[in-house]
Structure 1
Amino acid sequence: MGNKQSTNPRALAVTLLERVTDQGSYLNVALDQLLKQASLAPRDAGLLTNIVYGTMQHQLTLDYWLTPFIKKPKKMEHWVRLLLQTALYQLEYLDRVPARAIFFETTEIAKKRGNRGVAGLVTAILRQIQRVGVADLTQVQPLAKQLSLTASVPEWLVTKLLQQLGETKTRHLLTAINEPPRASIRVNQRLTTVPQLADNLKQQGIDVEASQLTPDALVASNGFLAGTPAFAAGQYTIQDESSMLVAPSLQLQPATQVLDACAAPGGKTTHIATYLSAAAGGQVVALDLHPHKVKLIRQNAKRLGVSDVVQAQALDARQVATVFADGQFDRVLVDAPCSGLGLLRRKPEIRYARQPADILNLAKVQLTLLNSVASKVKPGGILTYSTCTIVDEENKDVVAQFLAQHPEFTTITVKTKQPLKVPTAPYLRLYPDDYGTDGFFICCLQRKMG
């Protein structure tokens, strides 16, 4: 890649989309790496981010619109198709970018990466799209296909959401996942207060406002939140508002003994830790399968000043029977591995990577995890099950199967720090359109006495 191309946000966007679609890289990780290497002007970095996320978010729609204009699809190289998608995204979704700039830049990239023939083809396709216009999605039938193409979500998932949530809720949810995600931070109230931190960040030009979901959070509309002195000093951590509801649901006291069975990277572990006191004997044992992730939990605990109550260790949560005694913990958290379908706004590539079979396989893993930790909960203690997904198979269906096998447990109301507009019994389900957060599920199961 020549030096000139390496700072062209539109050319970089195609390179990045190739990494994600061909090599399976995570979009946010690949983008961070590229931004560090490319040293772009802020405006160009913004355009790159917008094009990459927008094209990925709307990929099914863009592809549907493009297909009629591509005469020999099998002969077209993948990067050329991606280049056309980025151009079409800019033409259809970005108001401020003039069409002539998009045409010129796209043709230049085609010429540099390919040859004059490729450039001619790309120009011809874009001109034809401009003349004819793109297909009207409102005419597509049946409804599941129409919503799939409008929101760029696979049809199998739209069908499932329609079955589980009905048409109105599904439409709202699909609109919400294509809106830009806001960043949220959890204020470390051991080291600062919410108003103090808000003032501090505003002085650095970062606009924050209070969360509607939890008093522990601030929501930011701009700024590099991992780059401030307050972040380095442990005054806050970056965490979605929805996942900040997990720690309060455990109803913690300073002396509580907690097992966090699937803990990395430690957002919920360190939140739990803020409720505990080493002097009172409180502790959270944080497990993860991978040693490098355990290191990450320890680093987060250290930065946030809660190392004294966090004991992180590498262990497969399915093996807890061999290490811990029955009834050893007052509280157990299973924040289970899941399909991540609640994160579609933040990680748009997830929608294309998941298949129906994944959901069934994950549900089995989730149930196995719950079964393996159940005996470690003291009588009267609480087992909280949480996921960042929005489908019943991984959420309420897993809970139902667990309760059928464990009559010694019963569901209790999910305690929150402030009243919410969604039900909190027999579980709490948050969809992305409820509060503009990730989708999330929390269920609290109490072990009966005796």
Structure 2
Amino acid sequence: MKNENQRLRDIALDILLTIGESGGFSHLVIDQKLKKSQLELRDKALLTELVYGTMQHKLTLQYYTNYFVKKPEKMKNWVKWLFYLSIYQMEYLEKIPDHAIIHESVEIAKNRGHKGIANLVNGVLRTIQRNGLPDLNNITDLIERLSIQTSHPYWLVKRWFLQFGEEITREMCETNTAHKQMSIRVQPLKIRRDELMKQLENDGIHTKTSPISDQGMIIEEGNVLNHETFQQHFFTVQDESSMLVAELMDIKQGMTILDSCSAPGGKTTHIAEKMQDNGEIYAYDLHEKKAKLVAKKAKELDLTCIQVGQKDARKLQETHSKETFDRILVDAPCSGLGVLRSKPDIRYNKKEEDIHQLARIQKDILTHVLPLLKKDGKLVYSTCTVDKEENEQMIQSFLDENPEYKIDSSFFEELPEVLKSAKGRTQFGIQIFPQDLDSDGFFITRIMYQDNSNVSR
């Protein structure tokens, strides 16, 4: 009969197989399994750590496994992932003793396979316990070494080297393997930020204010998701880079605003809060299921100015007249290369061709949506990726083809002090790297109409 430790690792192995071999999304698969598992809170936290940690270091763990196994290509998938899971615990988790990891792994191998596999698992893990792991610094190719050390695909590291140089790429890759701080956004129509901070502090949850948003807070210690204020929807969990999007929209009460790609609703509801729930927000998403998430989020936060619908952003001229909106947000579909810490499976599933295709979709959306902007309006374009083709180069290409628009120069003056001299700032917007704020990688810019009398055609 399995003990609780073995059952937990069995569940972790099942999740890793679903994500790693069947293409499941890590956050969705983990959430589904946790709901069914009936594990205690502490065990749920460990399960999440095991899955995310193993996925985050997959290429490193694959390198180590292949070093010790003579014919790794002949291993069954579950054996491969069992090695990754086991070596991750031995190398990265200090609180679990090696002998316990080896014992549980061998027992899983016995139950899932046969004696030969159990012997292989036992032999490899005991060799690692005795001799340690190979030194990754011995990898001579610089890009390959960084790729293996930080578990980023070779093509991606090479691409970042060419776009941003060695220093930024190394910092970004290393940051993507580290734990990310949690930040939340207070709902100011329900509670003031200082009041929420005081409530949390009284219950042992230590916070500090965000330099990005006057609604933002960074959690320094404690589990805020177990606090009653979370159940009361006094705040939303949101990354600081994501908060910056609404902060840079120059929002005023009573405006009519379009959020063209709105799911899951974090930015939409932030816009509504900044408007004091006074105005109109039309929030759309291509998928009906995702649009419903936006409506659910708005209802939880008691925001009534948001009208949600399922529509393709590239067809919104069929629904709205030209020059309808004071502000437009295009939080465009993207490769997601800025959120690799939160969704580590992205780095293994994306291909370079995906980026080319996404850049075309992004330009299509911008081209279709911008005529809906009033002549004195402003459009914010954002992505949660770190790639010039989807960001600066896409914006530059769009402006070259559409000279009636320009970058709003006052956008740069409104950046938070902490970002005014950021390395990712260009004439086309600001690229936030994960290491800049210990947040997600994001690109943000703001576009407006240009005085046609000054445009030469």
Which category describes the TM-score, using the shorter chain as reference length? over 0.9
Query: Does residue 375 of structure 2 align to residue 376 of structure 1?
Result: no
**1:388 deviation in Å?**
0.1
**1:4 deviation in Å?**
4.2
Residues paired across the two proteins, number: 446
Which deviates further from its counterpart, 169-178 or 110-119?
110-119
CA 318–271 in structure 1, closer or farther in 2 if over 3 Å, else same? same
- Partners of 1:46 and 1:278 in 2: CA distance: 36
**1:255 deviation in Å?**
2.0
Contact in 1 for aligned 2:180/2:341 (Cα 8 Å) = yes
- TM-score norm. by structure 1 comes to 0.94
2:71 matched residue in structure 1: 72
**1:23 deviation in Å?**
1.9
Which of 406, 416, 419 aligns to 2:417? It is 419
1:312 matched residue in structure 2: 308
Which deviates further from its counterpart, 318-327 or 408-417?
408-417
Contact in 1 for aligned 2:189/2:276 (Cα 8 Å) = no
- 1:175-218: CA deviations, max 9, x gaps? 11111122211111121111111122233443322223322211
Contact in 2 for aligned 1:414/1:425 (Cα 8 Å) = no
**1:70 deviation in Å?**
1.4
CA 33–208 in structure 1, closer or farther in 2 if over 3 Å, else same? farther
Which deviates further from its counterpart, 294-303 or 381-390?
294-303
**1:449 deviation in Å?**
4.2
Which of 286, 300, 309 aligns to 2:297? It is 300
Contact in 2 for aligned 1:387/1:442 (Cα 8 Å) = yes
Q: Which consecutive unaligned segments of at least 5 residues does structure 1 have?
A: none
2:455 matched residue in structure 1: none
**1:5 deviation in Å?**
6.3
Query: Does residue 430 of structure 2 align to residue 428 of structure 1?
Result: yes
2:340 matched residue in structure 1: 344
Instruction: Map 1:233-252; keep pairs closer than 5 Å.
Output: 233-252=232-251
1:153 matched residue in structure 2: 152
- TM-score norm. by structure 2 comes to 0.93
Q: Which consecutive unaligned segments of at least 5 residues does structure 2 have?
A: 453-457
2:283 matched residue in structure 1: 286
CA 5–75 in structure 1, closer or farther in 2 if over 3 Å, else same? farther
Give the match's secondary structure for 1:375: helix
- 1:364-416: CA deviations, max 9, x gaps? 00000000011111112111110000010110011011101111111122464
Letter of the structure 2 residue corresponding to residue 144 of structure 1: I
Which of 328, 333, 340 aligns to 1:332? It is 328
Which deviates further from its counterpart, 379-388 or 295-304?
295-304
- Partners of 1:388 and 1:134 in 2: CA distance: 35
Letter of the structure 2 residue corresponding to residue 101 of structure 1: A
Which deviates further from its counterpart, 129-138 or 359-368?
129-138
1:20 matched residue in structure 2: 19
Contact in 1 for aligned 2:260/2:330 (Cα 8 Å) = yes
Contact in 2 for aligned 1:414/1:444 (Cα 8 Å) = no
- Partners of 1:333 and 1:14 in 2: CA distance: 40
Contact in 1 for aligned 2:6/2:104 (Cα 8 Å) = no
Contact in 1 for aligned 2:328/2:373 (Cα 8 Å) = yes
2:210 matched residue in structure 1: 211
- Partners of 1:108 and 1:83 in 2: CA distance: 11
- Partners of 1:58 and 1:123 in 2: CA distance: 22
Which deviates further from its counterpart, 346-355 or 87-96?
87-96
CA 45–85 in structure 1, closer or farther in 2 if over 3 Å, else same? same
Letter of the structure 1 residue corresponding to residue 302 of structure 2: G
**1:125 deviation in Å?**
1.5
Instruction: Map 1:346-361; keep pairs closer than 5 Å.
Output: 346-361=342-357
Give the match's secondary structure for 1:84: helix
Query: Does residue 44 of structure 2 align to residue 42 of structure 1?
Result: no
Give the match's secondary structure for 1:141: coil
Percentage identity across paired residues of the two chains: 39
Query: Does residue 87 of structure 2 align to residue 88 of structure 1?
Result: yes
- Partners of 2:243 and 2:368 in 1: CA distance: 25
- Partners of 2:93 and 2:235 in 1: CA distance: 34
Contact in 1 for aligned 2:211/2:416 (Cα 8 Å) = no
- 1:270-322: CA deviations, max 9, x gaps? 1111232566xx21111111222222211211221221x11111111100121
**1:75 deviation in Å?**
3.1
**1:330 deviation in Å?**
1.3
Give the match's secondary structure for 1:40: coil
- Partners of 1:344 and 1:39 in 2: CA distance: 28
Query: Does residue 441 of structure 2 align to residue 442 of structure 1?
Result: no
- Partners of 2:151 and 2:296 in 1: CA distance: 38
- Alignment RMSD: 2.0
Give the match's secondary structure for 1:186: strand
Contact in 2 for aligned 1:161/1:170 (Cα 8 Å) = yes
Which deviates further from its counterpart, 418-427 or 184-193?
418-427
Contact in 2 for aligned 1:380/1:449 (Cα 8 Å) = no
1:115 matched residue in structure 2: 114
Which deviates further from its counterpart, 124-133 or 54-63?
124-133
Which of 385, 389, 411 aligns to 2:381? It is 385
Which deviates further from its counterpart, 212-221 or 356-365?
212-221
- 1:43-86: CA deviations, max 9, x gaps? 33232222211111111011111113212324321111111111
Which deviates further from its counterpart, 359-368 or 107-116?
107-116
Give the match's secondary structure for 2:156: helix
